[in-house]
Each structure stands twice: as structure tokens, then as C-alpha cells.
Amino acid sequence: MTINDRILPELRQAYSQFPGFRLDENLEWSRRLLAQSPLEESELVLTTNRTIPRGDGGEMLVKIYEPVKRSHDKLPAMLWIHGGGFVMGHPDMDDLLCERFVQTANCVVVSVDYRLAPEHPYPAAIEDCYAGLVWMTAEAPLLGIDVKRVAIAGASGGGGLTAALALMARDKGGPSIIFQMPLYPMLDNRNTTPSSYEITENHATWNRTNNITAWNMYLGEKKNDNELSPYAVPSRADNLVGLPPMYTCVGQLDLFRDETINYVTQLAQAGVDVEFHLYPGCFHCFEVFVPEAEVSQRASQNYLDAMARALHP
């Protein structure tokens, strides 16, 4: 039975019609595949663009989402990190999702426009994400947020950066994070798990060739270093004690399935509370590619509700 045969019927057409990223052949063309057409903003969410200091002392864009009607009470906050395998993507592509987090979890969302590889290899992206977290908590009075209720979240490559950011914040002694949500995260550059060999079709939403290419672009000259930092490759962390509770999910037909399961297992063994969902018949980013499907609506609602529970204990 092929991967195509195992995909849920409601997801199959989108999977077969996707042209597939071609990172090794045409990175700019691949980046355009992720470009988001402007969406009509929700009347219930106010979106503001700001420029803040980034990791290298330069400046970067952040997008701030908050309820239009909010009281003077401080709201919890979530730092969002977009996906794209460390080499593609922009905060604009997650406008609708960030608005849904605001409405479901009654929170302020800050989405960071971190630098992309290969132009800016590791550690640029994680340094920018950490700078965004520091800025968000330092500007708590301006943003009207409660620094005792701060979460971090991201998907795919952004999920890998979320896991790395949780490690970095713990090791640096802050800012304090009460919850992490790395969705179907990109955690391991070794590509040795069974699932990393299963997804090879050119039209897959993320296949083995693209994963190897993206990791090489991200790690740059460090890609052959056996002493890679867990801030670059979270799966290499040898100490997961003291990390914030985590929610994650992954499709069973996702290249990242096994590295996600391995990380969840290690977190649980380290005493970190984890909620984990595995979706049979689902490929990488299935709820993004086919948002109207029942399984997609269920999956996205599950993680939106998990964030709401975490931020309003």
C-alpha cells in the first residue's frame, strides 16, 4: 500500500495536486509557494506591525494581534513562530491562525519575522526568536500582558524553533514560559528515523530531499559537527528536565512523525507534562492545506483549545 492509498479521502486530492517544494533546485520559487494573499482582517482582532531589535542588533518585524474589545486587565501572551523549514515563510501567512488564537485563548499574540537560511544560517533564527521573547516580556506594560502567563508556539520549522527556544529560555534563566506548543516540529537533522525514509514523493508537502536540503542550508558550515547545539537541533538535547509543559501533534504520514514521538517520550521520561495527538491518514501540515476537512477542523480546534487551557489555568 502506498502513502497515497493511506491518506484520508478528504485530504487525498490536495496532497496529489500539490507541486512540492524544490529547495535544492529553486528556493525562490519554493518561497513563493508559501506567499500568502492578503486576507480580510477580523473585525474582532486588532493587528499592529512593529519593528524591534533582533538577535544581531539589527531590526525585525513583529506582528501583534490582540482583541479589539479588551478590558484594562492584563492578558496572557503567546509568541508565534511561523514554519517553512528555516528557509521559507513570513508572519503574514499565519494571520488567520494568529487571529484564531487571540479569539479562542483571549490572549495577545506576537509573531516574529526571524531571519531565514541559507542567507542567515544558525544561530540567526533562534537568536531572533529569543530576542522577540525578551522584547515581548520587557514591553509587558505597553502590550498589556501578564508575564506570568507567557507561552510559545510554532509549526513545522517554527515548531523546531519553539522547542529550541524553550531550551534556551530555561538555560538562560528566562523569560519565564508556562507552556510550549511545537506543532509537528522539525527537530532532528540526522534523517535516520523510519518515517524520514517513508515520505519521498516529489509532490509531498515535505519530503526527505527537502528536509535534508533545508537542514544543510540552516546549519551551514556546522552541518557536519557532531557537537551540534540543542538550540540548533533540539533532538540532541541531553537534559529536558525543567522545561514547560507541552502540547504537540503530528500526522501519521508526516516525515516528522518519529522524531516527534521520540521527543515526546524523552520529555515524559524527564517529568515534563505532555499532551500528544497522532492523526492517522494525515500528512505534514494537513490542516493548513485542507482546512475545511473534518480532521483538520478537529486538529486545529484541539490545539487552539489546548492553548486556551494553558493560558487560563
Q: What is the pLDDT along the chain (313 residues), one digit of tens a residue?
A: 788 889 999 999 999 999 999 999 999 999 999 887 667 788 999 999 999 999 888 999 999 999 999 888 999 999 999 999 999 999 999 999 999 999 999 999 999 999 999 999 999 999 999 999 999 999 999 999 999 999 999 999 999 999 999 999 999 999 999 999 999 999 999 999 999 999 999 999 999 999 999 999 999 976 666 779 999 999 999 999 999 999 999 999 999 999 999 999 999 999 999 999 999 999 999 999 999 999 999 999 999 999 999 999 9
Output the pLDDT for position 17. 93
- Radius of gyration (Cα) for the chain, nearest Å? 18
**Which residue in the block uniquely carries the three cell numbers 516574529?**
112
Q: Give this prediction's pTM.
A: 0.97
C-alpha closest to that of 67 among 91, 40, 88, 98: 98
Other CB atoms within 10 A of residue 217 CB:
21
Output the pLDDT for position 154. 98
Q: What are phi and psi of 266, to 5 degrees?
A: -65, -40
Output the pLDDT for position 146. 98
Provide the residue ranges of all domains of the chain, joining segments of one domain with +: 3-224+248-311
Output the pLDDT for position 38. 67
Other CB atoms within 10 A of residue 280 CB:
11
Q: What CATH architecture does domain 3-224+248-311 belong to?
A: 3-Layer(aba) Sandwich (3.40)
Residues linked to residue 274 through DSSP beta bridges, in sequence order: 246
Output the pLDDT for position 200. 94
Output the pLDDT for position 225. 63
Residues 6+ apart with CB under 8 A from 106: 67, 75, 76, 308, 311, 312
Terminal-residue alpha carbon distance, the chain: 44
- DSSP letters along 127-138, please? HHHHHHHHHHHH
Q: Among all residues, which ones are annotated catalytic?
A: 156, 254, 284
